[in-house]
């Protein structure tokens, strides 16, 4: 595998897992930089006024990052990313009105032509109360106005997207009760599970014992 993307809604632990995987696998790491977006705090405070500018900034930022990956470069190192390009459209569909989305779609189709497809996508799932609690605990000022209603819409959008997702090998992880940052058992089980995976769709639920969960 040359390109692995970790995905899921805000607060689910994407960046933490991507960082650990990159360290374990000796991989390059490509992280989003949401706090660099000058419109993001305005969006969380008043979504209707800043949604389009926020989304267009992210679209340009993500496209520029991902276009550094060349699909036909046999010698490039493995790369771990904490996002999938398709998340940009997913967020746009949740946040933009009809006219804004039409403009966004035109730019998206033009800008993302050469964006590579991951070999593996790891989708982290967690319910809204868990996400909201984690967001509050990490204490990022720009996120203080994120509502449970907004998180619910994102969770629904992610669930629908990955229900239909077939572009790459997919691992769906129940992240509600795991701590990949502090639990060596949780993280070790995941690494062992990844080593046994082949193509298709897989499900992972960490066990309180040393053996990893199986596919279902």
Catalytic residue of the set 28, 73, 82, 160: 82
In-domain check, residue 189: no
The Cα 151–Cα 88 span in angstroms is 15
Closest CA to 53 of 39, 34, 41, 36: 39
Task: Provide the pLDDT for residue 139.
Answer: 86
State pTM to two decimals.
0.90
In-domain check, residue 203: no
Grade residue 67 by pLDDT with cuts at 50, 70 and 90: confident
For a pLDDT cut of 70, what percent of the chain falls above it?
Answer: 92
- Asked if the model's pLDDT at residue 210 lies above 50, the reply is no
* Domain containing residue 108: 3-183
Could you give the number of structural domains in the chain?
Answer: 1
Q: What is the largest CA-CA distance in the chain?
A: 52
- Element spanning 121, H or E: strand 120-125
Q: Residue 114: which CATH number? A: 3.40.50.300
Cβ atoms of 97 and 49 within 8 Å: the answer is no
What's the pLDDT tens digit per position in 33-59?
998 999 999 999 988 889 999 999 999
What's the pLDDT tens digit per position in 109-135?
988 777 888 999 999 999 999 999 999
Grade residue 75 by pLDDT with cuts at 50, 70 and 90: low
Two tokens, residue 166? 């077939």
Q: Is 82 annotated in the active site?
A: yes
For a pLDDT cut of 90, what percent of the chain falls above it?
Answer: 71
In-domain check, residue 205: no
What average pLDDT does the structure give for the chain? 89
What's the pLDDT tens digit per position in 168-185?
999 999 999 898 988 899
The Cα 18–Cα 178 span in angstroms is 15
Phi/psi of residue 47, nearest 5 degrees: -55, -40
In-domain check, residue 161: yes
Grade residue 74 by pLDDT with cuts at 50, 70 and 90: very low
Grade residue 186 by pLDDT with cuts at 50, 70 and 90: very high
In-domain check, residue 213: no
Task: Provide the pLDDT for residue 2.
Answer: 82
What's the pLDDT tens digit per position in 188-209?
999 999 999 989 999 998 876 5
């Amino acid at each position: 595998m040359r390109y692995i993307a970790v995905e899921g809604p805000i607060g689910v632990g994407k960046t933490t897992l991507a960082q650990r995987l990159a360290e374990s696998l000796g991989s390059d790491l490509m992280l989003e930089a949401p706090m660099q977006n000058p419109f993001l705090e305005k969006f969380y405070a008043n979504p209707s006024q800043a949604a389009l500018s926020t989304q267009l900034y992210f679209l340009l930022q993500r496209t520029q990052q991902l276009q550094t990956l060349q699909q036909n470069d046999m010698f490039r190192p493995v790369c771990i990313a904490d996002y999938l390009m398709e998340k940009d459209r997913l967020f746009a569909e949740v946040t933009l009105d009809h006219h804004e989305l039409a403009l966004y779609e035109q730019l998206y189709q033009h800008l993302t032509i050469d964006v590579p497809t991951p070999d593996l996508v790891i989708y982290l799932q967690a319910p809204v109360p868990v996400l909201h609690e984690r967001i509050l605990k990490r204490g990022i000022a720009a996120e203080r106005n994120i509502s449970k209603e907004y998180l619910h819409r994102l969770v629904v959008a992610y669930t629908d997207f990955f229900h239909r997702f077939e572009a790459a090998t997919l691992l769906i992880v129940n992240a509600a009760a795991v701590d990949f940052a502090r639990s060596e058992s949780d993280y070790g089980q995941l690494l062992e599970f990844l080593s046994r995976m082949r193509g298709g769709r897989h499900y992972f639920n960490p066990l309180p014992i040393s053996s990893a969960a199986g596919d279902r």
